[in-house]
Chain A
């Protein structure tokens, strides 16, 4: 199987599985507990049907949308995700350059493996920095200052990782950052020699935003769940979020809002956006899916800030449904991570182009020429 055989999300996943050592593949592919929320994130879209309109003259479709004051050519973007150089040696460089090519937003994680300074020198398109609130206030300030200096457009505070999720696949494979070569994982690394050669020869693995402050993840092996549980500040509250929001002084979002009540409070503290997200089903299994919860949140705060639906997107039609429901944009991690693992920048570009092509086709079939044409009249719920 090769990149040119990848025609959808599932193909990229298959190719990634071929290329990655299994602990790394399962780190991307896995979720919390029984992975019920993870499965629901996508299957939620199947409980609602699209109702097309005909005879509308649809030769030119404009997919652009504006979030955080920035116009994007696509109504979806690349969510910030950690440790990208474990998936492909180019890591964030590859994803950033692909996002630039399609003029969409690129999210950089505090746990990124390429620095904000380097990203900013590579791409001038919209950029988001995803912030984790650490116990170490010096680290927090440094992240904020560096992202500001590197001219990032949006700061997103992650609020759903107050403790690590129970990712059982990682427990079984022994996944850590940096990868630990135990007897049990050695075999899976040995069977993917290209990954191993690239990992060892294409520059040292590091977490540039954190390594001046903590050893964990760079020089000391740690699991991501353990990192969240020990390094992040569990006492984080609304006052902290409000302070960060004013300290940043620009577009500020909370990532991981699920209740209407919290969405309203995000407006009150000055957020300009929220990501409705359950962290890709990787934290609280049994929690509601973003799409299931989207309508209520849009109804409550959709006119006051940008509501972004994050998680579960595997198809253009999934995005059409979320946009029809009132999301300003869609975002996803696995959406591009399998493609990154499969073929680096070229892979991510192929994935982005594929979803774009699907969206254009589906917009035409729906009888819509611009994102603002989509609304709830286009949707019918099966159990309403």
Chain B
């Protein structure tokens, strides 16, 4: 199997599984507890049907939309995800370059393996930075200042990671960052010599944005879970969010809003967008899915903020359904991480090309000339 055989999510997933050491693959692939929410994130789209219109001389549909003040050429972008160089040595550079090529947004995690400045140097495309509030406030201030200097377009504050989710696959595989070579995991790594070679012959693994502030996650063997639990501030509240908005003074989103009440409050404190997300089913298992909750949130605040649907998106038709239900755009993490693991920048480009083609094809089949035409009249919920 090679990249040219990858036509869909499952193909990229399979190829990534072949290429990555098992603990790393399962870190991407897994969710919290029984992974019930992880599965439902995608399945929820199947409870809603699209209704096409015919004979509309569609021609070439316009897939563009605007998020965080930037026009993007397709209504889906890359979610912020941590430690991308574990999946491919080019890590964030590969995804940022691929995103720019397709005119869509790249998002950087606080826990990225390249720095804000490094990515700003290689990409002038739309960029979003994802902030975690650390116990040490000077961390937060420093990150916001640097994003401003580096001309990032938007900032999002993650609000669903006050404590780490119970990712049982990571317990079993002993996933840590940087990878720990225990007797148990050594076999898994030994069976992926290509990955090992690339890992040791490229730039040393680091959490580039925070390395000058902490040695956690960089110099000592530390699991992500422990890092989250020790460094993130569980006291974070609405005032902290408001503080970040004021300090940033630009397009701003809360990432991980799930209730209508919180969505309204996000509007009140001055957010320009919200990202409906359950962190890819990796935090609270049993929580509602973004798509199931989208309609209610869109009814409440859809005319006041941009709504990004994050989680479960694997197909162009999923994007169409989300837009019809009221989202401004979608974002995805797992799908592009598998493509990154499968083939670096080339892999992410192939994924984005597939996604672009699917959205374009399905827009034509729906009889829609632009994404603005996607509204509730185009979908029916089964129950």
B51 touches A259 (CB 8 A): yes
* Neighbouring B residues of A323 by C-beta, 8 Å: none
- A166→B315 CA distance, assembly (Å): 11
B55 touches A284 (CB 8 A): no
A261 touches B53 (CB 8 A): yes
B49 in the interface, Cβ–Cβ < 8 Å? yes
Which candidate, A15-23, A237-245, A360-368, is the interface stretch facing chain B? A237-245
Residue in B5, B51, B320 whose beta carbon sits within 8 Å of that of A288 in the complex:
B51
- B360, closest chain A residue (CB): A163
B53 touches A284 (CB 8 A): no
A287 in the interface, Cβ–Cβ < 8 Å? yes
B52 touches A287 (CB 8 A): yes
* Neighbouring B residues of A221 by C-beta, 8 Å: none
How many Å from the CB of A117 to the closest CB on chain B? 30
Given the contacts A162-B58, A162-B364, A235-B57, A286 and B7 also touching, CB distance less than 8 Å: no
Residue in A164, A259, A286, A293 whose beta carbon sits within 8 Å of that of B53 in the complex:
A259
State the total of A-B contacts with C-beta under 8 angstroms: 102
B365 in the interface, Cβ–Cβ < 8 Å? yes
* Neighbouring A residues of B7 by C-beta, 8 Å: 168, 171-172
B59 touches A289 (CB 8 A): no
Which of B317, B365, B366 gathers the greatest number of chain A CB atoms within 10 Å?
B365
A159 touches B50 (CB 8 A): no
How many Å from the CB of B258 to the closest CB on chain A? 24
Which of B7, B52, B358 gathers the greatest number of chain A CB atoms within 10 Å?
B52
* Neighbouring B residues of A37 by C-beta, 8 Å: 49
A306 in the interface, Cβ–Cβ < 8 Å? no
Among B30-72, those with CB < 8 Å from A are: 45-46, 49-59
B57 touches A237 (CB 8 A): yes
How many Å from the CB of B263 to the closest CB on chain A? 26
A284 touches B366 (CB 8 A): yes
Which of B5, B321, B366 gathers the greatest number of chain A CB atoms within 10 Å?
B366
Which of A33, A37, A163, A237 gathers the greatest number of chain B CB atoms within 10 Å?
A33
The interface size of chain A toward B, counting residues with CB under 8 Å, comes to: 41
B383 in the interface, Cβ–Cβ < 8 Å? yes
* Neighbouring B residues of A171 by C-beta, 8 Å: 7
A258 touches B315 (CB 8 A): no
Which of A34, A235, A293 gathers the greatest number of chain B CB atoms within 10 Å?
A34
Given the contacts A234-B59, A286-B315, A286-B317, A166 and B52 also touching, CB distance less than 8 Å: no
- A257→B7 CA distance, assembly (Å): 29
A34 touches B315 (CB 8 A): yes
- A255, closest chain B residue (CB): B54
A284 touches B362 (CB 8 A): yes
- A111→B76 CA distance, assembly (Å): 36
A163 touches B55 (CB 8 A): no
A165 in the interface, Cβ–Cβ < 8 Å? yes
B382 in the interface, Cβ–Cβ < 8 Å? yes
A237 touches B55 (CB 8 A): yes
Contact indicator per residue, chain A 31-42, by CB within 8 Å of chain B (1) or not (0): 001101100100
Contact indicator per residue, chain A 211-229, by CB within 8 Å of chain B (1) or not (0): 0000000000000000000
A254 in the interface, Cβ–Cβ < 8 Å? yes
Contact indicator per residue, chain B 103-117, by CB within 8 Å of chain A (1) or not (0): 000000000000000
A238 touches B51 (CB 8 A): no
A238 touches B364 (CB 8 A): no
How many Å from the CB of B364 to the closest CB on chain A? 5
Residue in B53, B55, B315 whose beta carbon sits within 8 Å of that of A285 in the complex:
B315
Which of B49, B55, B315 gathers the greatest number of chain A CB atoms within 10 Å?
B55
B52 touches A259 (CB 8 A): yes
B50 touches A262 (CB 8 A): no
A241 touches B317 (CB 8 A): no
14 A-B contacts (beta carbon < 8 Å): A33-B358, A34-B8, A40-B49, A160-B52, A160-B365, A234-B57, A234-B58, A237-B55, A257-B54, A286-B320, A286-B321, A287-B49, A287-B50, A287-B52
Closest 10 pairs between A and B when the two form their complex, measured CB to CB: A288-B49, A286-B317, A159-B54, A237-B57, A284-B365, A235-B57, A163-B364, A287-B50, A238-B55, A259-B51
Known: A162-B365, A284-B317, A286-B318. 20 other contacts (CB 8 A): A33-B315, A33-B317, A37-B49, A40-B46, A162-B364, A163-B361, A165-B365, A234-B58, A235-B57, A237-B55, A237-B57, A258-B51, A259-B53, A278-B52, A284-B365, A286-B317, A292-B380, A293-B51, A293-B380, A383-B383
Measured CB to CB, the residues of B under 8 A from A are: 5, 7-8, 45-46, 49-59, 315, 317-318, 320-321, 357-358, 361-362, 364-367, 380, 382-383
